[in-house]
Structure 1
């Protein structure tokens, strides 16, 4: 019998510039060649997953909308030994935004981040700063704040609003690079086109994937190209990154699904 795969997704989530439903329905159809696939909403995952060999978390939406239920899902999965892809050991977005602080402190090429107003002096002096929740996602709660008004900010992340040429995303299955996409217009984040990374670009992205503690999973490294030509990490998505599979050539899409299928089967071995 084919292994039983529970694909966790929120088909109705209104994601700006993306259609979660289309991507996950197409992915489920492709995975049925090797798995018996069922789909469920993230709020239903905890009571259902015992009946499956593997849980694949896909476009399930920001967990801050159902934080208690997500915590219960993690607890049940970890206590029962349920195989979850991506692996729940990640220390990037699936654990909140603390990693941005950790990477800043460790000197990684990341948009510098602090979480105390007292530490703003360590950031570049710019007219505006990005303020966002530590458990945020999908730009929920993100706002731009003038430096003079930062004194009222508490318990949130603070970053300089960095001018950049464009954003670029690198997509990985386990630790292996699959493809890259970029948004040529900084004002149109999800208007993506294929991007051919240089060796330096790949080394940049690989460094963050290797830093993370996910051996089995999908990761998306989001970066911005500064006006000086450098890449800086924006986010390391290791829980449920949207894949923009509709923006890649058919051959790239087929190769990604093949890599994902092989990774899922390895996790079951």
Structure 2
């Protein structure tokens, strides 16, 4: 590790065509600020495996859905885990980082999650609804998502073979996201109009809202990293988890006032510094145990 400034490989796909979002703009902003504290280089996710060994930490940011390059991502994970590379977020996440199985597990465990099943024999566990959402278990960013009417239950049964998730289409009041760095809450944003989900505004989270969000942050158990808890406000007023993004959550920093953006950058810089220096301390401790 460099005796001066830590070397960070920042993984992003600046050209990814995200609907309603500008991945590249967000990462240009973040790297312009992080560069004040780290020796930093950007790379495309397909180049990360070849470059990672030259850096003290690899930061996964707006790298796009791994579904489009699953083989290469699996190779990256295997290499990072095998070599002990420091990846931020750490690759031990149990939520979207590991696929969508967690929605089934949390639903079965009684967590406040949109009811979810993946097998025909479990369809009866879903509440009655006029429409149902079907999405690939390995999907992301709404890829492959379909909405089917209730009179298509026979078709749903044919689709429920373990490869897709099926949920009732909740007539929610709005969607809201809670953003955390490590286990510290940073800000919340919501979409007042469900038809314009990427027109976000700052949201004043209540104590009950934060208790809901922290429940999932605690469950995931990541010591470091950025996480986004996506929820919807159900007709009865209850918050239900839609997604826990723990791999490369888009941050919608452009929807924040300048003061809030600066506070987030400060929190991220401190977290990343702790993450890198913790690795340095571990390495130094190991070296003292090795005879000269």
Structure 2 match to 1:60: 63
1:156 aligns with 2:149: no
**Secondary structure at 1:164 match in 2:** coil
Structure 2 match to 1:115: 118
Q: Distance in 1 between matches of 2:174 and 2:54?
A: 44
Structure 1 match to 2:280: none
Structure 1 match to 2:19: 16
Of 255, 269, 272 in structure 2, the residue corresponding to residue 261 of structure 1 is: 269
Q: Distance in 1 between matches of 2:25 and 2:34?
A: 14
Deviation at 1:127, TM superposition (A): 1.6
**Secondary structure at 2:210 match in 1:** helix
Deviation string for 1:227-263 (max 9, x for gaps)? Answer: 1111000000000000000111111111111111111
Q: Distance in 2 between matches of 1:107 and 1:239?
A: 24
**Secondary structure at 1:229 match in 2:** coil
After the TM superposition, list the runs of 4 or more consecutive aligned residues in structure 1 that deviate by more than 2 angstroms. Answer: 146-149
1:172 aligns with 2:190: no
Q: Distance in 2 between matches of 1:117 and 1:37?
A: 49
Structure 1 match to 2:80: 77
CA contact (8 A) 2:119 2:157 kept: no
Deviation at 1:146, TM superposition (A): 2.3
Note the residue ranges of structure 2 that are not aligned, 5 or more in a row.
278-292
Structure 2 match to 1:201: 209
Deviation at 1:214, TM superposition (A): 1.2
Structure 2 match to 1:135: 138
**Secondary structure at 1:6 match in 2:** strand
Q: Distance in 2 between matches of 1:127 and 1:253?
A: 40
Of 228, 246, 253 in structure 1, the residue corresponding to residue 236 of structure 2 is: 228
Larger radius of gyration: 2
Q: TM-score, normalised by structure 2?
A: 0.91
Equivalenced residue count is: 269
Deviation at 1:6, TM superposition (A): 0.6
Structure 1 match to 2:6: 3
Structure 2 match to 1:241: 249
Of 100, 103, 109 in structure 2, the residue corresponding to residue 100 of structure 1 is: 103
Q: Distance in 2 between matches of 1:40 and 1:82?
A: 16
Q: TM-score, normalised by structure 1?
A: 0.99
Of 199, 212, 229 in structure 2, the residue corresponding to residue 191 of structure 1 is: 199
Q: Distance in 2 between matches of 1:213 and 1:158?
A: 26
